[in-house]
Amino acid sequence: MPQNNLREKRREGGAKKNLLFFVGSFIFLLNLFFLNGGVPVEAQEKIKVGVVEDVILLPWGIKLPARIDTGAAHSSLDARELTIKDNIAEFKLSKKYSRLQLRLPVIDWQTIRSAESKERRPVVEVELCVGPKHFRSRVNLNDRSKVKYPLIIGRDILQGNFIIDCTQPRCAPPSCPEVSSK
């Protein structure tokens, strides 16, 4: 009999310790992730963007509407009359967006798969201003004349930088210092 009482007391003590550990861990995690009004600490550093955003192509200062597309792995820029010579991509933006002719080095090639086809596209590096963020990014070049938006911002840019609000467009107008000074 005395041995059974000892076992029961040990079980009760172990259960209380487990419960205290669980409650303490839960409170710790709540404090860690929700210190700032119910918003995770990491999320506050990210910029909220809508399904469409105006983006500035730097250093030229050209404003382009961009479709924010979490379904696209890679970002893509409209490139009209695209030619590649000596590893330099030469192309024009559409007439609606200044018809500027650009010459940029090809830094890579991407194979893009869609429901209809698979194609190889040149990749260049460009500077973009999205909301207050100014950064260099890789974009593949493609004639996007048959679609509405000349720029697709894909997961390669979005991941770790932005939070998407699918309920509205244009949450983050371009506000980089380089843009404000022009």
User: What pLDDT, in 10s, does the model give residues 20-29?
Assistant: 555 545 554 4
Nearest-Å Rg of the Cα atoms of the chain is: 26
Q: pLDDT by residue (tens digit) across 34-61?
A: 443 444 435 557 899 999 999 999 999 9
Which pTM value belongs to this model?
A: 0.72
Q: pLDDT by residue (tens digit) across 82-138?
A: 999 999 999 999 999 989 999 999 999 999 987 888 999 999 999 999 999 999 999
Q: pLDDT by residue (tens digit) across 66-86?
A: 999 999 999 999 999 999 999
What's the token pair of residue 163? 């939070």
Q: Which residues contact 165 (CB under 8 A, 6 or more apart)?
A: 48, 49, 50, 51, 171
